[in-house]
Structures are given as structure tokens and as C-alpha cells.
Amino acid sequence: MIEEPLRAVGCAALLAVGAACAVSGACLAGSPGEAGSAAPTAKPAPPAPPSAKERDARRAEVRFPNGRLILAEIADTPEHWARGYMFRREVGEGDGMVFVFPEPEVRPFWMKNTLVPLDIIWLDEERKILHIEAHTPPCKADPCPSYGPLRKASTVLEVRAGTAAAEGLKAGDRLQISIPQPGD
């Protein structure tokens, strides 16, 4: 009996988050910007594709439960969160991007300006998988849909589409993620 009202509240929350995503204009819904400005402004130019230096920046080691290791770019600033895999023409088989957040929150993602399909994996503070959005398609037109669980995540991992299934990942699995500190 209580499930129907909870489902309605959950759907309303997801719609509200989706509307915020459409207004904010970022890869990660809720990034800082001019979403709250009263007067419409010109759209900023899209971010430039990442340079070789950016792609070769600090990397995290992500180990799946089956022992497979991937190297993931680290997105740990609002600028990196907003860019994500935007404008990339490919994501390698052993590549990923790990989004590290200071506090666990509901973290909806979208695929605006992302050119390739991805598996998006939300993790809790213990690095247990909360949700997998497999084969998330690129957004072809605005407004772009948002993806993700209505549960608090502290880390999100993006990998090449099909990786989660190929590695047998499922909710509840724990990933080992080693993130070097700046300057390491």
C-alpha cells in the first residue's frame, strides 16, 4: 500500500532532477553555472576536446571483482565533472573515468555532447555498486535524459559500453579503486 505513494514521490523527484539537468547544461547534472540566472544569456562555446596532457593526467587503478584492472582518468573537480567524456570519439577497452565527489549525493548523469555509448556505474562510500546504466546512448537532441539511481553515490565510474556485462558486474559488487593523491 505504501509502495504507490513512494513510487510517485520517486518519480516526481526524478522529474525535478531531470528539469534541473536541462537547465544546468552540464554532463553531471547539478554542476555550477548560470542555471539560476534570471535573464537568458548566450550559450558558452562547448569545451574543447581534452589535450594529450589532460588524457595523460593522474589515473586511478580500478579493479573489478574478477581481478581485471582498468586505468581510469580522475574527475575530481567541477570542471572535470562537467566535461566527463564529452567530445571523445572513443573510449578504449581498458579505459575509464572515475568521478570522485566530496560528499555522497544523488548524482544524475546525462550524455550531452558525449559521442560514444557508455556504461555508467554508481558506487557508494564503500565502493559497492548501487546501479549500472548499461549501454547509455549518446544524447542526439535537447533535452537530454538523465540517468542514475535515486540513491546517494560518492563515486561514479564511466567505461566503454558493454564492459559491465563482459566483466559480470552487478549491484552489490565491490570495486577496488586506488586514487593517487595530487603530487604523487
Show the cell assigned to 75: 574527475
Q: Which domains does the chain have, with CATH numbers?
A: 3-28+50-178 (2.60.120.1140)
What does the pLDDT read at residue 51? Answer: 55
Phi-psi region of 84 (alpha: psi -120 to 50; beta: other; left: phi over 0): left
Give the span between the Cα atoms of 159 and 84, in whole angstroms. 11
pTM, 2 dp: 0.72
* Residue 120: strand, helix, or coil: strand
pLDDT value of residue 43: 44
Task: Residue 139: name the closest of 7, 32, 46, 16 by CA.
Answer: 46
Residue 181's pLDDT is 77
Give the other-Cβ count within 10 Å of 94's Cβ.
14
Q: Which residues of the chain have pLDDT under 70?
A: 1-57, 183-184
pLDDT of residue 40: 30
What confidence score (pLDDT) does residue 4 get?
44
Rounded Cα distance between 154 and 65, Å, is 19
Nearest to 119 by CA among 76, 62, 41, 78: 62
> What pLDDT is attached to residue 112?
93
Residue type, 112: K
